Chain A
């Protein structure tokens, strides 16, 4: 049962990331593209992290995964904001 949940979470995370990649390619302006770039640092990583934690628990691998996703989640908005300011000029 746990393997099924891990697979579903992985599939959801990968699908979210791929949708964000396609969204960046489909949108017309840099501001529209930034919406998908920001979503790529929130939705997909948390689904993949949940799958990782379900499989490994809070050991060394789990804590490293938390560090990766926390970095992406916390620094993503900063980069998006800086890019939006650069695009406005």
Chain B
């Protein structure tokens, strides 16, 4: 394993506390955890693309970063109306 693969593996462990917040705390706290999980996912995809030497996979990370932004806005808007 190279350094970027190890970094991706280490970043995956960051999902554990975020999942705990999403399951145990209020809805708005879950949205906060979801926003950070989107950023972490985009960084994991960057590290995997570099670790596997597949430049074309970076497109997945770009799309993930854009989609996580949209999902955060949608959830915040939805919870704001409740």
Seen from chain A, the residues whose Cβ lies within 8 Å of a Cβ on chain B are: 3, 6-7, 10-11, 13-14, 17-18, 20-22, 24-25, 30, 33-34, 36-37, 40-41, 44-45, 48, 51-52, 55-56, 59-61, 64-65, 67-68, 71-72, 75-76, 78-80, 82-83, 85-87, 89
Contacts and interface: CB of A to CB of B under 8 A. Distances in A.
Q: Is the interface of A mostly helix, strand, loop or mixed?
A: helix
Q: Is the interface of B mostly helix, strand, loop or mixed?
A: helix
Contacts of A41: 36, 39
Interface size class of B (residues with CB under 8 A): 35 or more
A14 B58 CA distance: 18
A38 B18 CA distance: 14
